[in-house]
Amino acid sequence: MSQLDLHQGHTHTIYLEPHQYLPSVSLKTDGPWSVALNILASFRLSDYMDGDVALFFEYQDLRGKHRLPIDFHQAAFENALLFSNLIHVPIRGNIEDVCLKVVGVTPGVELETELLHIQVEDSRSFVNSQSLRKVL
């Protein structure tokens, strides 16, 4: 895919409660763990738009704030967006400030979330870089 110009436009943010979408890690540790999330999101736009749009997963852990790309879309006179992908989220300690961000929306165009589906596919805790257990 070509280099997308996402600097034009504005950002739409959907805040998530981590306990609703992410597995709880029973070990009270500052150690590393990871989760694979299958994400599907569709949005209705208030007007037609052209341009590059992307969906990102943002979160904060002990290492700081992170932004992972989920999916990219090159809109061509469209009034709906659909994003989907399976992402791997590496985490250290607790996860906070979780949100999805749609970046590159034409200024003045509003987004309405039609569907948001987040499914945990796999979660692992690690001790000394060794997988400790599998949680589903």
Q: How far apart are CA 114 and CA 104, in angstroms?
A: 18
pLDDT in tens, 70-84: 999 999 999 999 999
Residuewise pLDDT in 10s, the chain (136 residues)? 334 555 567 899 999 988 777 766 544 567 888 889 999 999 999 999 999 999 999 999 999 999 999 999 999 999 999 999 999 999 988 888 999 999 999 999 999 999 999 998 876 665 544 444 443 3
CB atoms < 10 A from the CB of 58, how many? Answer: 16
Domain boundaries, the chain: 41-51+66-93+110-126
CA 39 and chain centroid, separation: 7
Q: How far apart are CA 47 and CA 110, in angstroms?
A: 8
In order of 61, 75, 76, 106, the CA distances from 52 in angstroms are 29, 6, 9, 9
